[in-house]
Amino acid sequence: MGVKAYLKQGKPLLFDGAMGTYFAARPGRAAERCELANLEHPEEVSAIHRAYLEAGCRAIKTNTFSVGVDLAQGKHALARQIIAEGARLAREAAEPFGAFVFADLGPAPQDKEHSPAELYCLQLDLFLEQGLTCFLAETLPTDDGIPELARYLKRRCPDAFLLVSFAVGADGVTREGALGRELFRRTAALTEVDAAGFNCISGPLHLLRYIEGLERGDTLLSVMPNAGYPTVVGRRTLYKGTPDYFSRRMVQIVGAGASIVGGCCGTTPEHIACAARALEGTSIRCPAAPAEKARLRVEAGDVNPLWEKLRSGKRVVAVELDPPADDDLAPFLEGVRTLREAGVDAVTIADCPVGRPRADSSLLACKLKRELGVEPLPHMTCRDRNLNATKALLLGLSMEGVHNVLLITGDPIPSTDRDEVKSVFNFNSRKLARYVSGLNGESLSTPFQIFAALNLNARNFSVQLRLAQEKEECGVAGFLTQPVLSREALEHLIQARAVLKGKLLGGIFPVVSHRNACFLNNEISGMYVCDEIVSQYVGKDRAEAEELALRISTRIAREIQPYTDGIYLMTPFRRVELITKILKAIG
């Protein structure tokens, strides 16, 4: 009997629990890699399989979760051994119980040489050699490579059963910043996928609440939560969720529409035994359509003047003004007032540029919006905030009427400070854009318009262009470019205009001295002033250099106009008056 035939009987399919955490809890095994136990401690792996089967599960996973890492590292022989032994041990354990054996694939690592699809398909080939036809891709933070995996599997083995499971937190977001609902929707739409669902990170109650509002159609739903949430005791990580509590939630999860259930981190044979007893006689039920929840938010949302102007086809002017390094805000505010009177559409505020601490860009953005009525565009870096802190900040910005953000990875902390101050990068700008885009659809009455940076001065600009296209796929609606101060940068801008769909604000930086030009070329990443421009500043005093900056910036503004939707002026050394002269000259 196959998996589909089993489920047609109307009873849920119960999986095993967590091989990894259960193996790590055995004496002397906490520091060992679980998958290597297939080769080094096969009797222990077999004993764990039997313990879950005797507890009452009717499907077990091969002990192969991290084999994708071996393949990414070029360890093909080791991967083949782990999979061959993992498949043998699982089959031998399952046969007396008539249980299903699922080939277990963990998330494909981000690898420069191999795409996720390639790593998944390499594993499929090795599992198919062992005669396995049931597959579980689990704990996934994205669906990268899943469509290719599904198509490849069904070409190789049309009768195979494929279950795809994503790992979401209590807020329904993966560690890559992707929305679980959207991942589920896209995966369920693939005809080659037989079931989809969620596992890991969340405890049973949070996954229960999550699936209660899930639109799933007739897709077979799988839910395999953790036993609860981890607590560190001494050097051990423990899950305190009890088997009795877990089993009660399993009954509710099946009642909410899950056809396939089981356990992830922290779930032991005791958890599965208790769940098996509680589910005895339980039937799979198709849930009613999720009720529309009342939403206490303004239906129309706020107006976004900057984006409305861009969308209408009118050119915009954004000016960057560095935030103060102390608590004296007067010069900054005076500069903003001057820019407002000059007709600037938005003031962009850097987020601790060059990794040096300055006044918070988001707090300043709220102040400008509230007190001066100026449209701000705060920079938001991936440095020093995890996804929780980022969401909290975005919600605060939205409440204050700030609905445009510039997302950048951010500069690392300068090396001289790293002994005392550590950089924290949990994600990159693409992942952050995907996360903000997900919030737009889930939590916000007025969506953020997401901008990103485009480095026109990169040596390998084709890579930058590809990354920019990926950013657009993640929800980026426009780009602010690095300054055009060379013929190469202009050519790269023309390329970008031909390829990218989003709005482009062309970067202009008024170089104010020969020393300034040399500094930019040698110490600021992403900046390049061509020799022709640098040489013009030799011997110029301040007044002469500013007049030259005015002429060069005005010329560049006119050259880039056909390829941009506006300009992005960077203010050197708070010389706001120079910026106003450039704006007046441009007209």
Domains, the chain, ordered by start: 18-212 (3.20.20.330), 315-510+563-586 (3.20.20.220)
* Residue 134 contacts residue 140 (beta carbons within 8 Å): no
Average pLDDT over residues 354-359: 81
- Is the pLDDT at 295 greater than 50, yes or no? no
Per-residue pLDDT tens for 440-457?
Answer: 877 788 999 999 999 999
Tokens representing 184 are 């589920």
Distance, CA of 494 to CA of 504 (rounded, Å): 11
Q: Is 84 left (phi over 0), alpha (psi -120 to 50) or beta?
A: alpha
From CA 207, how far away is CA 243, in angstroms rounded?
Answer: 16
492 versus 409: the higher-pLDDT residue is: 492
Spatial distance between the Cα atoms of 76 and 72, rounded to a whole number of angstroms:
9
pLDDT tens column, 221-249: 999 999 987 665 555 566 677 999 999 99
> CB-based contacts of 346: which residues, under 8 Å, 6+ apart?
306, 316, 317, 318, 319, 374, 375, 376, 377, 404
Give me the helices (H) in 319-403, please. Answer: 330-341, 361-367, 387-399
**Is pLDDT at 288 greater than 60 in this prediction?**
no
- Among 262, 158, 151, 264, smallest CA distance to 201 is for 264
Determine the pLDDT at residue 302: 77
The label of the residue with tokens 């990169």 reads 458
pLDDT class for 418, splitting at 50, 70, 90? very low
- Lowest-confidence segment of 118-132, 396-410, 422-436 by average pLDDT: 422-436
Name the band, by pLDDT with cuts 50, 70 and 90, for residue 373: very high
Instruction: Determine the average pLDDT of the residues in 47-58.
Output: 98
Q: Torsion angle, CA of 165/170/175/177, rounded to 10 degrees?
A: 100
Tens digits of residue pLDDT in 79-89: 999 999 999 99
Question: Residue 261 carries which side chain, given as an amino acid letter?
Answer: V
* Strand 59-61, strand 220-224: pairing: unpaired
The arithmetic mean of pLDDT across residues 344-359, rounded, is 88
Which of 380, 376, 455, 348 minimizes the C-alpha distance to 177?
380
- Helix, strand or coil for residue 418? coil
Exposed/middle/buried for residue 115 (C-beta within 10 Å: 0-12, 13-18, 19+): middle
Out of 16-30, 52-66, 299-313, least confident range: 299-313
Mean pLDDT of the chain: 91
CB neighbourhood size of 282 (10 A): 15
Whether pLDDT at 281 is above 90: no
Q: What value does the mean pLDDT take over residues 174-200?
A: 94
Tell me which H or E stretch contains 406.
strand 404-408
| Per-residue pLDDT band at 175 (split at 50, 70, 90) | confident
Higher pLDDT pick, 255 / 287 = 255
**Beta carbons within 8 Å of 243's beta carbon, 6+ residues apart:** 268, 270, 271, 273, 274, 275
Q: Give the full edge-to-edge strand order of the sheet including 59-61.
A: 13-14, 258-261, 220-224, 195-199, 161-166, 134-140, 100-105, 59-61
Annotated binding site for Zn(2+): 200, 264-265
Which range has the worst mean pLDDT, 40-49, 94-103, 176-185, 421-430?
A: 421-430
CA distance 257 to 253: 7
Residue range 497-556, pLDDT digits in tens: 999 999 999 999 999 999 999 999 998 888 999 999 999 999 999 999 999 999 999 999
CA distances from 395 to 349, 412, 451 (A): 18, 25, 17
pLDDT of residue 552: 98
In the chain, % of residues over pLDDT 70: 92
Confidence of residue 414 (pLDDT cuts 50, 70, 90): low
Alpha-carbon gap, residue 155 to 167, rounded angstroms: 27
In a 13 Å sphere around the CA of 121, the CA atoms on its Cβ side amount to 18
Which of 208-217, 289-298, 324-333, 487-496 bottoms out in mean pLDDT, i.e. has the lowest? 289-298
Structure confidence at residue 293 (pLDDT): 42
Q: Which residues are annotated as a binding site?
A: 200, 264-265
Q: Is the pLDDT of residue 11 over 50?
A: yes
- 428 pLDDT exceeds 50? yes
Which residue, chain included where needed, has tokens 């002429």? Answer: 551
Q: What pLDDT is attached to residue 356?
A: 80
